[in-house]
Amino acid sequence: MQEVYEKFLSESESKAFNLAHRKTIAFNISRYDASVKKGKLQYSNLDLAKKRAGIIKHKVLENLENYLKEFDLNISSRGVKVIWALDAIEARKAVVEILEKHHVKLVVKSKSMITEEIGLVECLEKNGIEAIETDLGEYIVQISNDRPYHIVTPVMHRSAKDVAEIFNQKFGLPIDSTPEEITAFVREKLRDKFLKAGAGISGANFIIADPGAVGLTENEGNGVMSTTFPEVHIAIAGIEKMIPTLNDLDLFWPLLSTHGTGQKVTAYNSIFTGPRQKGEANGPRFMYVILLDNGRSNVLAQIPQRRALSCIRCGACLNGCPIYRNIGGHAYGTVYSGPIGSVITPHLQGMEIYKHLSYASSLCGKCSEVCPVGIDLHSQLLNNRNYSVVNNLVPSIEKRGMKIWKIAMKNRWMLDLPPSNVKNFFVKKLFGKTWGKRRTLPVVSKKTFGKLWKELSEK
Ligand code: SF4
């Protein structure tokens, strides 16, 4: 537990003071900001759209069990096998069993954070199954043994020059290759994999109760190819990805693309309702949907924090967050980073291990302001803090400190009594190693406020 926290502190510090890293992030986020500003112009009333999306997601979460059953019933009727996975272990096991059943040795994967969440690629490798990332960003992450930096833009921390260097080292491409040349090279390299793969694995941006479908949105077309070329398609979806009907995509797809990348709508939007049906020429012969809980029920059980499950993973709160902009995605040490990651990770992976993330916030409210489904993220961070105090998860030294602070604040004379040099000693002792490390600590005045006030009043 303590190691996770200390690693977070040291990584945050090293990233926050790495000027090259900050420069790359600032540049990439400034481009994002500019295109989102333009993208939002498509709305005559964005607030209303956000409100409607928030209400729909609220309705879904209040009736999630029924929507999930409806989804299962509807999509199963067209030959899809739905598997309910309680945790990452069950989900990985289900995938391996499906692949073994169909004798699959090569898998093409479209971009999906949920497969990162369950550690799927590593698991497949251990089972002798090759899994190739087909999203360009994820492909770069894979060939450079990196981790996704951001839930929408996995290589946000890399400049065009960094990427060219990776391809130079890995494949001998010219060091000054342009993004277009690199894209063409990857496209050529992946074409063969799409044709040879026995299965395609995708996530799901949305699962749709009526008529029972999986919605996928992406910009490169690799998702379409991963899910339609191979004989088997496995979609892994978090149970919270539910929306009630197809019509709701009309609202959610543009909201997701505008807040994710600034586009009016993403380039490729697919709706999968099942495997190839009689008389159809294309598409997989077998389709599986794995519905993953993996701690989401824990969030659902917390009524104030339940709203966090409305997230459509657009990444806007990450890009807006002053903490994320400084420490970047890797410092969090989690699959989901930024404000939404800080809210949900403690519930998904253990509050006692990840509670510190809820404290790593300036509570400025920018995350809540930019969220397209109106999640009050900064309040959720406070709810998590409250949860960890109520459930006795804060260190005893902090509890004692708060008790003393409360008594002192309620009794003015206690604050006034010690001389200023004693107070300065304690300020240094208590905060010197944390706040004082890079800042000049405040010096307590020789005269207390009460004394100054009295003197002024007597003048
Ligand atoms: S919490 Fe809101 S802003 Fe953040 S990723 Fe989810 S939908 Fe986007």
Find the mean pLDDT for residues 199-227: 96
CA 310 – ligand 1 centroid, Å: 8
Those residues with Cβ within 8 angstroms of residue 65's Cβ, 6 or more apart along the chain or in another chain? none
Torsion of CA 449, 451, 452, 456, to 10 degrees: 130
- pLDDT at 1 exceeding the cut of 80: no
Indicate if ligand 1 lies below 6 Å from the C-beta of 156.
Answer: no
pLDDT, position 422: 93
Q: What is the pLDDT confidence band of residue 78, given thresholds at 50, 70 and 90?
A: very high
Query: SS3 for 344?
Result: helix
Indicate if ligand 1 lies below 6 Å from the C-beta of 255.
Answer: no
- Domains delineated in the chain: 43-292 (3.40.50.10420), 405-458 (no CATH)
Q: What is the pLDDT confidence band of residue 171, given thresholds at 50, 70 and 90?
A: very high
* Closest atom of ligand 1 to CA, residue 377: 1
Find the mean pLDDT for residues 411-437: 88
Indicate if ligand 1 lies below 6 Å from the C-beta of 381.
Answer: no
* Closest atom of ligand 1 to CA, residue 320: 3
Pairing of strands 213-218, 268-272: antiparallel
Q: How far is CA 341 from CA 45, 150, 313, in A?
A: 28, 11, 10
pLDDT, position 459: 80
Indicate if ligand 1 lies below 6 Å from the C-beta of 370.
Answer: yes
Indicate if ligand 1 lies below 6 Å from the C-beta of 317.
Answer: yes
Query: SS3 for 210?
Result: strand
CA 262 – ligand 1 centroid, Å: 14
Residue 2 belongs to what H/E stretch?
A: helix 2-16
pLDDT, position 76: 98
Could you read off the pLDDT of 2-49 as tens digits, one per residue? Answer: 899 999 999 999 999 999 999 999 999 999 999 999 999 999 999 999
Q: 48: which 2 tokens?
A: 């209303």
Average pLDDT, whole number, for the chain? Answer: 95
Indicate if ligand 1 lies below 6 Å from the C-beta of 371.
Answer: yes
Mutate to test the pocket of ligand 1, among 50, 324, 340 (most ligand atoms within 8 A of CB): 340
Pairing of strands 213-218, 206-210: antiparallel
Could you read off the pLDDT of 310-359 as tens digits, one per residue? Answer: 999 999 999 999 999 999 999 999 999 999 999 999 999 999 999 999 99
Find the mean pLDDT for residues 155-176: 95
pLDDT, position 332: 97
pLDDT, position 253: 97
Indicate if ligand 1 lies below 6 Å from the C-beta of 313.
Answer: yes
Select, from the ranges 68-72, 297-301, 422-426, the one with the highest average predicted confidence (pLDDT).
68-72
- pLDDT at 437 exceeding the cut of 90: no
Classify residue 230 by its DSSP letter.
S
Classify residue 245 by its DSSP letter.
E
Q: How far is CA 146 from CA 138, 143, 332, in A?
A: 9, 8, 14
**What does the alpha-carbon distance between residue 142 and residue 136 come to, in Å, rounded to a whole number?**
10
pLDDT, position 180: 95
Query: SS3 for 298?
Result: helix
pLDDT, position 154: 95
Phi and psi torsions of 233, nearest 5°: -120, 125
pLDDT, position 458: 87
CA 343 – ligand 1 centroid, Å: 11
Phi and psi torsions of 451, nearest 5°: -65, -45
CA 149 – ligand 1 centroid, Å: 16
**What does the alpha-carbon distance between residue 214 and residue 205 come to, in Å, rounded to a whole number?**
8
* Closest atom of ligand 1 to CA, residue 318: 4
